[in-house]
Amino acid sequence: MAKSIDLAPEASRLASLLLSYMAAVCAFVAPRQPGARAAIFDRLSHSRALTYGRVQGAMDEPSILIREATRADVPRLVAMNRAAYPVMAKEDVVWGERHLISHQRVFPQGQLVAEIAGTVVGAVASLVVDLGANPLRHHTWPGITDSGYFTNHDPRADTLYGADVYVDPEYHGRGVGAALYEARRQLCRRLNKRRILAGGRLWNYHVHAGAMSPEEYAERVAAGELKDKVLSFQLREGFNLRGVMPHYLSDSMSHNHASLVEWLNPDYRRPSASDRKARIACVQYQMRKISSFEDFARQVSYFVGVAGEYRADFVLLPELVSAQLLSQEPSVSALEGIRRLAGYETRFVELMQSLAARHELTLIAGSHPVAEGSKLYNVACVCLPTGEVVRQPKLHITPSERKYWGISGGHSLKAIDTPKCRIGVLICYDIEFPEAGRYLADDGAEIVFVPFCTDSRQAYLRVRYCAQARAIENQVYVALAGTVGNLPSVGNLDVNYGQAAVLTPSDFAFARDGIAAEADSNEETVLICDVDLNALQGARAGGSVTPRLDRRTDLFRVVSHLPADQAPNGPGDGPLGGQPGET
């Protein structure tokens, strides 16, 4: 399906959508983390507005805040893990910094921490795994977690695996573990996974090992005849005992045995063939003079509302779509204008966040300048229907952006998990660099979104041709959306040239020219297109050519120097990942 819809705005329709938008803003309150602004790395690459909420403590006790872990939490998590498992710490079978950093890169949603009064007091580590036709088969901890690095995480699989949960011993008995387990159940429901599976060390088995087998011990704990610190807690949290696994993890207390426990998601909905189709709406946005932020909100709300009515899964807005706000300001230099535009950041993000939640879609909200001290970054906000906001900075800065606006390049790039599939965002010039697209594809992205802002046909075609190349060489879909129209009073953004498009690999499963859909150039419109993610996977596995499988990694490789991929200094990898003192 591909539609190009002419949107001559109707006054009555705009008014209705504005009222709806205002109601949504009043009704929707996005949860936020307390405290000061995060450091630039966390803010631009790992900042997420969603927290899992607070659990109120007993009288006179502070509440428990559950949120996603960040890079800044890593040293505290390493120390807390060792404190929680002192016996295993002696054998160095605990988390190291490299593992925790890998977890956050591979599956950030699954790495949760609990805070009390600003102190991290507990954490869970999770990944999604494919266990095939026999999900209850025995396994080992190193095998199911890829030696603790989670690089086997498969977002398309149906089992959320609980690799670890740990609480600072000083905070035992305050409901921290229960709050973390509830947050993990919420995550399972939100991702529509069939189950949570976990292996639990038989904590107290060493006391009874001379009198009974591990299987008998576990059954007696399940019957309530014995108490086990781990298994008894898991059973109280609604898990069912499915068996006992030998050789699970090196642990003297359990004699290397673990219970296999399962929680089934009562809200699980079996995916259908249509669940692997995604509807993309690319907004070809006309830059026209406005007189207030409300005018801007009205225009954006209209377009997102149209996409919502067509049941789009994704809506893509252009790069620097918010620059329209400068048309209400007095004429100033380009540098002063972009700094003023950065001042709208909070209102801009809240608007986009509320629209994504209201229409239950993923909104790639173009980009907006973000000030960090003396530096300015061009940042795309990916607003998920849950209220989460994931930020992706532009990495490669054009000469004119540096000269007229003083924009700096960001230092983070990662694929983003959405309810439909894993995606990536490359802002305009970024798509012209093959290694960035390759990195996202290798990180599991199936659709790459490219918000752009170009002033001439030549500039646009650089973006377009490179986007087509990325689609072919990485076997991904690439969606583009740009600005059109003129803003004579806004320096360096006065002229715009654009043509929205959704591009595909070039093979028989896709459109003949590798173009799923394209809009007429320089006309205000919304391009709506369906893409088949199963066809994408089929082409990767057995297409006419299979570039993802045929790469000569013995001759060429992509080396990442992104901060998130860099190992910290010093030893301490943790479980089975190269112990201190090993070469």
Task: Report, as residue numbers or ranges, the catalytic residues.
Answer: 319, 394, 428
Nearest by Cα to 201 from 114, 273, 93, 300: 93
Measured in whole angstroms, the distance separating CA 49 from the mean position of its chain's CA atoms is: 12
Nearest by Cα to 251 from 482, 476, 89, 395: 89
Q: Which residue has 């996974």 as its token pair?
A: 193
Query: What interhelical angle do 293-309 and 11-27 show, nearest 10?
Result: 100
Residue 53, both tokens: 């909420």
Burial 533-569 (b: 16+ CB within 10 A, else e): bebbeebbeebeeeebeeeeeeeeeeeeeeebeeebe
Dist. CA 543–CA 254, nearest whole Å: 49
Query: What interhelical angle do 11-27 and 345-359 show, nearest 10?
Result: 100
Dist. CA 582–CA 441, nearest whole Å: 33
Burial 452-481 (b: 16+ CB within 10 A, else e): bbbbeeebbebbbebbbbbbbbbbbbbbbb
Dist. CA 349–CA 497, nearest whole Å: 25
Q: What is the DSSP string of 112-154?
A: EEEEETTEEEEEEEEEEE--TT-TT----HHHHTTTTT-TT--
Q: What angle do CA 555, 557, 562 make, to 5 degrees?
A: 160
Nearest by Cα to 112 from 197, 57, 152, 53: 53
Q: What region, left, alpha or beta, does residue 142 occupy, with left being phi > 0 and alpha being psi -120 to 50 degrees?
A: alpha
